[in-house]
Amino acid sequence: MVMELRQLEYFVAVAEEANFTRAAERVHISQSGVSAQIRQLERELGAELIDRSGRGATLTEAGTAALGHARAALAATDALRQSVNEVNGLLRGSIVVGMVTACTVTGLFEALDSFHRAHPGIDITLVEDNSDRLVDRVRGGELDLAFVGTTDAKPQGLDSLVIIDDRLIAAVPPDHPLARQTAIEMRDLAAYPIVCMPAGTGLRAAFDKASASEGVRPYIAMQATAPGTIADLAARGLGVAILSQSMAGAFSDRLKALIIEDAQVPALLALVWSTQSPALQEFLRHCRHAFSLGARASVASGGGA
C-alpha cells in the first residue's frame, strides 16, 4: 500500500467541507484532482470513504472511522516538520535586536555573547534608536526584539520582560541648593533648569507623566541620550539631572541623588517582542539567564532611552 499524505489532506478537506468543489478550492487544486486522489485512497484501503450519491459529499461508516486517524497522521507530520524547522532555525538564520541609544547594560551584551557562542550560524544585527521608535519597529516586524525604556510594563500588542523597575531621581552637585535636602517633590524642580533625556525615551516619558500628574511645567534646558553626559552637565552646574535610581549610583562621587517623592510613574527597562521564532525563543532564554546573573546590579551607567 502506497498512501500519500496529500491523499489524506484531500480526504480531510472533503470531509470537513462536505463538498468536493469547496475542498478543491481549499487545497488549491482542481475538483477532478481531488476526486481522483480520494478514489486512489479508497482503492488502497479497500473501502469507500465518501458517499457521493447525494448533492453533497458525506462520510461513509468507513470514512467516519478513518477521519480521526487521517487528522492524527497530518498533525504528526506537521509536528515533525515543525521540529525540523526549529532545529534548522537554530543552525542558520538571523535575528535583529534593537537597543536604546547609549545603552551599556551588561546583561544584554552578555546575552548576545552567549547566544552567538552557542549558535554561531545565526547572524545577529544590533541597531540603536530611541525607545518609542524601537517599539514601533518591533510592532512593524522590522526588529525581532528590543531593549527599551518604558513606563508601561506591557506595551500594547507586545510581549515583554521587565528587567529594571526604577524610580526617578534628581541628581545635583554638592553645592546645589537642593543638595541640603534628602528628598524633594516635583514642584521643587520648577525653580531650576533641567537636564534630561529627549522626548521619545522611556525616562523622559516617565518624567513628563510625573510632571503632568503634579501640574508642574519644568524647564528642560538641555537634553542628552547618554546618562554620563547628563551627569556631566549637572556636575558643571548647568541643570538638575533627571536619571533613574540605578543610573544615579554611578555618579555618586560628584552628584547627590534625591528621590522625587511624588514621581510615582516607574522608569522601566524591558525587553519587548511580538512574535517568537525558534531563534528568538533561544535568545530570550539567554537574556533571562544573563539578567538573572546580576545584570540588575550592573546598569548604573546603562541607557534609559
The amino acid occupying position 37 is Q
pLDDT of 249: 87
pLDDT of 296: 41
**What are the strands, taking DSSP E only, across the chain?**
50-51, 58-59, 93-100, 122-129, 145-150, 159-166, 168-172, 183-184, 193-196, 219-223, 240-244, 256-260, 267-273
Q: What 3-state class would DSSP assign to 158?
A: coil
CA 82 to each of CA 10, 95, 160, 235, 239: distance values in angstroms, whole numbers, following the listed order: 21, 19, 25, 56, 56
pLDDT of 294: 46
Q: Which residue has 500628574 as its cell numbers?
A: 213
The fold of 168-265 is D-Maltodextrin-Binding Protein; domain 2 (3.40.190)
182 phi, psi to nearest 5 deg: -95, -25
Give per-residue burial for 218-255: e unless 16+ CB within 10 Å, then b. bebeebbbbbebbbbbbbeeebbbbbbbbbbbbbeeeb
Asked, colleague to colleague, whether 94-164+268-298 and 168-265 share their fold, the answer is yes
Let me know: does 24 contact 33? Beta carbons within 8 Å.
yes
**How would you class 34 by CB atoms within 10 Å of its CB: exposed for 0-12, middle for 13-18, buried for 19 or more?**
buried
CATH for the 5-89 domain, from 1.10.3210.10, 2.50.20.10, 3.90.226.10, 1.10.10.10: 1.10.10.10
pLDDT of 300: 35
* Residue 60 per-residue DSSP state: -
pLDDT of 291: 86
94-164+268-298 in CATH: which number? 3.40.190.10
pLDDT of 93: 77
* Residue 20 per-residue DSSP state: H
pLDDT per residue over 249-275, tens digit each? 889 999 999 999 999 888 888 999 998
- Residues composing the chain: 305
Question: What residue ranges do the domains of the chain occupy?
Answer: 5-89, 94-164+268-298, 168-265
Positions of the chain with pLDDT under 70: 1-2, 82-92, 293-305
Q: Is the pTM of this model over 0.75?
A: no
Q: Which residue has 551588561 as its cell numbers?
A: 106
Strand ranges of the sheet holding 256-260, from the earlier edge strand across to the other edge: 183-184, 256-260, 168-172, 240-244, 193-196, 219-223
pLDDT per residue over 68-83, tens digit each? 999 998 888 878 776 6
Dihedral, CA of residue 19, residue 20, residue 21 and residue 24, to nearest 10: 120
Q: What 3-state class would DSSP assign to 67?
A: helix
Let me know: does 134 contact 126? Beta carbons within 8 Å.
no
pLDDT of 49: 93
